[in-house]
Amino acid sequence: MDITNQLTSIVAAILVCCVTALAQQPAPNNDLLTSVKPTAGLYGAHSDANKEIQEALTRAVAEHRRVLLVFGADWCYDCHVLDHALHEGEAGKIVDAKYLLIHVDIGEGSKNVELVRQYKIPLEKGVPAVAVLDEDGKLLYSSGEGEFEAARRMLKKDLVKFLTRWKPL
């Protein structure tokens, strides 16, 4: 075998190894989600958000957790995307361990208006919108700039960073 054939064989072998190695790597998936199946009744059209928040605050004291309020509606696709992301992967583990998750239904913008005001949620910036309460019910964070409105374009690492920042110590 001459030198040209040897080099061709070596290059071909290297390419095969590289392609094989790349094929075995999991595809990068930094997006929260690109598509989810909406969960019917996620925002519970007949639920009592005030009561749920009070019950969560009672549990939060006993369990040393924060209360994560997610304002949205069943018609909002990004609300379903965010909810799905809050239940899977690293974000899901943090939520399970450190937060009590409450969905607050805004309907077409006219439901739970008093809670929208109380937790400083600017609906004109879109939903989903998020508020974080400490175990005493004090508002620690409110997404006043529409940070979660385009949940389908958020990165998983950014959601994990947010949850980590606001979790109890």
Where do the domains of the chain lie, and which CATH numbers do they carry? 49-166 (3.40.30.10)
| Strand 99-105 with 66-72, pairing | parallel
pLDDT at 112: 95
pTM of the model: 0.79
Q: What confidence score (pLDDT) does residue 144 get?
A: 86
Question: 1-20, pLDDT tens digit by residue?
Answer: 566 555 444 434 444 344 33
Express each pLDDT in 80-136 by its tens digit: 999 999 999 999 999 999 999 999 999 999 999 999 999 999 999 999 999 999 999
Provide the percentage of residues in the chain whose pLDDT is more than 90. Answer: 67
> What pLDDT is attached to residue 47?
82
Give the pLDDT of residue 15. 41
Indicate if the pLDDT at residue 164 is higher than 50.
Answer: yes
What tens digit of pLDDT does each residue of 33-88 get?
557 888 888 998 668 999 999 999 999 999 999 999 999 999 999 999 999 999 99
SS (H, E, C) the chain: CCHHHHHHHHHHHHHHHHHHHHHHCCCCCCECCCCCCCCCCCCCCCCCHHHHHHHHHHHHHHHCCEEEEEEECCCCHHHHHHHHHCCCHHHHHHHHHHEEEEEEECCCCCCCHHHHHHCCCCHHHCCCEEEEECCCCCEEEECCCCCCCCHHHCEHHHHHHHHHHHCCC
Q: What is the pLDDT of residue 65?
A: 97
Confidence of residue 26 (pLDDT cuts 50, 70, 90): very low
